Structure 1
């Protein structure tokens, strides 16, 4: 589910970035690019299936008024994750709306193919030294 949220939130964030708080009521705009339209469709489905829209609408409003602040985007992500956790059928519905991800491909010697999130270090090479501090 976290990878699905990771795909949904950037699209919704793009729609919020393009339309601000008006994304909550704006009809699909023919001039909008595919990502913005996708974000609008995803947000619309989420809001239609959410018993209490207020927390998501508040997160969208905050994101729209803070110029894409990463913390505001994280707050929207948290709200969307909560809705998806409560409605597994919505997870399936939203996943069907997302474009299929191309298969990961690693080219060249020691190439690394990564899909999804990588919380740690990815490294190749002779005598590499990697230190990750938390």
Structure 2
């Protein structure tokens, strides 16, 4: 399996987790909900796209992985099993990879990852202009 697919499947995790949290194990059969946040709806569309591209055996494996991950949302093994199902679907299916990539927000699909960690840290995915952290600082105009 290519490293690209492994990395891509790992990057889908927040979307899959959000979809399972919002839709539960029925994520494969429910219609999208406008009241659910955008991240969960992207995960919902990802899982449905994978579902549509699988044969009967692949669908059964995906359904079981979704069920397990929905029942045990904090279980890393269940989340890994779901990612494994997505990776299996992506193997040799360049069209599915393209379809899933197009579903992701532009910054995410471009490989931009932003992380803030620690007291008073900030993170920005693009040019935000001026940012200040710390005590008693007055920005100069």
Fold conserved between structures, TM > 0.5: yes
User: Are 2:40 and 1:36 equivalent residues in the alignment?
Assistant: yes
Aligned to 1:73: 79
| Higher share in helix | 2
| Aligned partner of residue 94 in structure 1, secondary structure | helix
User: Are 2:8 and 1:4 equivalent residues in the alignment?
Assistant: yes
- How many residues are matched? 105
- Please state how far the C-alpha of 1:30 moved relative to its aligned partner: 0.8
- Higher relative contact order, chain-length normalized (CA < 8 Å, sep 6+): 1
Aligned to 2:29: 25
CA distance in 2, matches of 1:25, 1:6: 23
Deviates more, 1:95-104 or 1:46-55: 95-104
- Please state how far the C-alpha of 1:104 moved relative to its aligned partner: 6.3
Query: Residues 13 and 68 of structure 1 are in contact (CA less than 8 Å); yes or no, is this contact kept in structure 2?
Result: no
Q: How does 1:1-134 map to 2 (within 5 A)?
A: 1-51=5-55, 52-101=58-107, 103=112
- Residues 44-92 of structure 1: CA distance to partner in whole angstroms, max 9, x if unpaired? 1110011130101100000111133111000101111111013121111
What is the CA RMSD across the aligned residues, in angstroms? 1.7
Q: Which runs of 5+ in 2 are unaligned?
A: 115-141
CA distance in 1, matches of 2:14, 2:61: 18
CA distance in 2, matches of 1:70, 1:38: 21
- Please state how far the C-alpha of 1:100 moved relative to its aligned partner: 2.0
CA distance in 2, matches of 1:35, 1:59: 20
- Please state how far the C-alpha of 1:17 moved relative to its aligned partner: 1.6
Query: Residues 17 and 68 of structure 1 are in contact (CA less than 8 Å); yes or no, is this contact kept in structure 2?
Result: no
Report the TM-score, using the length of structure 2 for normalisation. 0.68
CA distance in 1, matches of 2:96, 2:87: 11
